[in-house]
Amino acid sequence: MFSEITQTHYVVLFIAILFISGVITTKFSARLGVPALVLFIGIGMLIGSDALGIVYFNNAWMAQIIGVFALIIILFEGGLQTDWPTLRPIIKPALSLATLGVFITTLLVAVAAKYILAIDWELALLFGAIVGSTDAAAVFAVLKDQPIQKRIGATLEAESGSNDPMAVFLTVSMIEWITNPATNALLLVLTFFLQMGLGLLLGYLFGKLTVAALNRINLDSSGLYPLFAIAFALLTYGITASLNGSGLLAVYILAIIIGNADIAYRYSVFRFSEGFAWMMQILMFVILGLLVFPSDLFTWEIILQGLAVSVVLIAIARPVAVFISTFKMNFKAKELLFLSWAGLKGAVPIVLATFPLLADVTGSQQIFNVVFFVVLTSCLIQGTTIPVLAKKLALFGPKKTPPMHTLELISLGKANAEMVEYQIDSDHGVIGKTLNDIPFPDDTLVNGIIRDGQLITPSGDTYIHSGDLLYILTSRKTKKSLKKLLDSKA
């Protein structure tokens, strides 16, 4: 009994060290210009059996479960941060990239894989399907703090958030075809439309249901609202996937609806989801790092095959897919070049590479190792150079100015009121006016202003400056009119 308790202590200590290392790693990744996910994978490989030998892990099934769970949380958080007015104009190119683009990439990579890996066409197409999509976790992480022009950044984020279902469908279909050659191709095509249709429909319905539930339920603790929202994301995935729909697409649609609605305890929901998404990223990439054995990965055969496939994927397949998928959609050449380069690979291909392992497909271990190497190559080469390329191509927009202050925002559910945080940009119409001059709606009070790092207690004669961060107490019924007033341009 005592030895079991002692072992439990070691497990808790190990998990604590793991997460502390992951958090500190994000700081180093920013300074080194290396995506944090690469360092997370590195931690997993370091503590695995081939290096320090602290943890022996080869359970592909468990890695797949953790990976899918993490992707649900990451997609949910990414969807919450997606601004619908920015997303609406780029839906067409994003969906084209997420479907036609993935299909073209799959075919071109399959041709390369056929001859580079010396495998048959079925396995080559399976390999192409696994690496065909951009990765939401990688794209969200790399673009999060970069002031990429809104249209380009939104296109990449929407593509990465919606193309996972296409990659999952192609991968599962190829495994079905390999394990059961009598599979009906027409039935697979119909299944695709069924999955996407159910994903869109159920994501929308559950999104509306979640917004209504968050606003109408009156929980005793504000800390329960973020858990309630996360539970709906998991419920949406579970029900949609059980009905043979695309659970990941449903979660992304659900999150977009929640993120663009007025919900109770909005700030708490957003901050909790962001922290939870980081935790799941750390866990997922460390687990995926544990799953691979460096002695199998870093052989000359895998290195040469992985580099060759990476060159084809980065320099040929992705650019061709981007240029064809966005034909006559009003993108400039430099924008298409950036979209081509920013097609990052990450957790999704590695998680998908566990599917053939679990299905016991012949050659699946070779596919897994090469896919893993391709992901590392993509993150190290593309992930580290995205900001540099954006700067060279003059694709940086206005600098992102996230709030630097931790004045807690609350949603006063019982009082039907909210504390709103609002950043004043240089083109806002209220700049230069006093609070008395601004026709605020009834039941609205400016409680505080953060300016140049200082807290200002406002009065009616206080002028509004560019860059001010306002904290405004308002009733829910006047929140829309308040936002309309503050959004008015000079």
CA gap 304, 228 in Å, rounded = 48
Q: Which of 31-45, 315-329, 374-388 has the largest mean confidence?
A: 315-329
Q: What is the pLDDT of residue 288?
A: 87
Return the ∠ at Cα 298 (arms to 294 and 302), rounded to 5°.
125
Q: Are 461 and 436 in contact (CB under 8 A)?
A: yes
- Give per-residue pLDDT as tens, 99-152: 899 999 999 999 999 999 999 999 999 999 999 888 776 776 777 667 778 888
Listed range (222-231, 239-248, 289-298, 403-412) with the worst mean pLDDT:
403-412
Please give the average per-residue pLDDT across 357-371, as a whole number: 90
Task: Share the mean pLDDT of the chain.
Answer: 85
The answer to whether residue 39 scores a pLDDT higher than 90 is no
Per-residue CA distances from 162 to 156, 169, 317, 402, 487 (Å): 10, 12, 19, 26, 29
CA gap 65, 70 in Å, rounded = 9
The answer to whether residue 408 scores a pLDDT higher than 50 is no
Per-residue CA distances from 112 to 133, 216, 311, 366 (Å): 16, 55, 10, 15
Per cent of the chain over pLDDT 70 is 92
- Give per-residue pLDDT as tens, 286-296: 888 888 888 88
- Give per-residue pLDDT as tens, 234-282: 999 999 999 999 999 999 999 999 999 878 788 889 889 988 988 888 8
- Residue 471's DSSP bridge partners are 421, 448
Q: What is the pLDDT of residue 206?
A: 97
- Give per-residue pLDDT as tens, 200-212: 999 999 999 999 9
The answer to whether residue 322 scores a pLDDT higher than 90 is yes
Return the ∠ at Cα 137 (arms to 133 and 138), rounded to 5°.
75
Q: Which amino acid is at 85?
A: P
Q: What is the pLDDT of residue 298?
A: 87
Q: DSSP letters along 213-241, please?
A: HHHH---S-TTHHHHHHHHHHHHHHHHHH
Q: What is the pLDDT of residue 145?
A: 64
- Give per-residue pLDDT as tens, 76-100: 998 898 888 888 888 899 899 988 9
Please classify residue 400 by burial: count the beta carbons closer than 10 Å to its beta carbon, then call 0-12 exposed, 13-18 middle and 19+ buried.
exposed
Q: What is the pLDDT of residue 56?
A: 81
- Residue 463's DSSP bridge partners are 434
The answer to whether residue 411 scores a pLDDT higher than 60 is no
Q: What is the pLDDT of residue 397?
A: 66
Return the ∠ at Cα 204 (arms to 199 and 210), rounded to 5°.
120
Please give the average per-residue pLDDT across 347-364, as a whole number: 88
The answer to whether residue 401 scores a pLDDT higher than 60 is no
Please classify residue 384 by burial: count the beta carbons closer than 10 Å to its beta carbon, then call 0-12 exposed, 13-18 middle and 19+ buried.
middle
Please give the average per-residue pLDDT across 40-48, as a whole number: 85
Please give the average per-residue pLDDT across 46-50, as a whole number: 80
Main-chain phi, psi angles of 195, to 5 degrees: -60, -45
Compute the chain's Rg from CA coordinates: 24
Please give the average per-residue pLDDT across 29-43, as a whole number: 75
Q: What is the pLDDT of residue 317?
A: 94
Per-residue CA distances from 421 to 163, 202, 265, 361, 472 (Å): 33, 31, 13, 53, 7
Per the listing, tokens 């468990």 go with: 62
Q: What is the pLDDT of residue 404?
A: 40
Q: Is the pLDDT higher at 324 or at 347?
A: 324
Per-residue CA distances from 402 to 145, 226, 377 (Å): 9, 21, 31
Q: Are 79 and 366 in contact (CB under 8 A)?
A: no
Q: Are 269 and 226 in contact (CB under 8 A)?
A: yes
* Tokens standing for residue 294: 């460096």
**Confidence class for position 1, pLDDT limits 50, 70, 90:** very low
The answer to whether residue 63 scores a pLDDT higher than 80 is yes
The answer to whether residue 414 scores a pLDDT higher than 70 is no
Q: What is the pLDDT of residue 405?
A: 42
- Give per-residue pLDDT as tens, 2-26: 454 457 877 788 788 878 887 887 7
The answer to whether residue 33 scores a pLDDT higher than 70 is no
Please give the average per-residue pLDDT across 147-166, as a whole number: 82
Please give the average per-residue pLDDT across 437-466, as a whole number: 87
Q: Are 254 and 236 in contact (CB under 8 A)?
A: yes
Closest to 443 (Cα-Cα) out of 487, 488, 482, 486: 482
Q: Is the pLDDT higher at 397 or at 259?
A: 259
Give the strand order in the sheet containing 411-412: 411-412, 417-423, 469-475, 444-451, 454-456
Listed range (40-54, 185-199, 228-242) with the worst mean pLDDT:
40-54
Q: Are 326 and 339 in contact (CB under 8 A)?
A: yes
Q: Which amino acid is at 214?
A: L
**3-state secondary structure at position 143:** helix
Listed range (114-128, 206-220, 421-435) with the worst mean pLDDT:
421-435
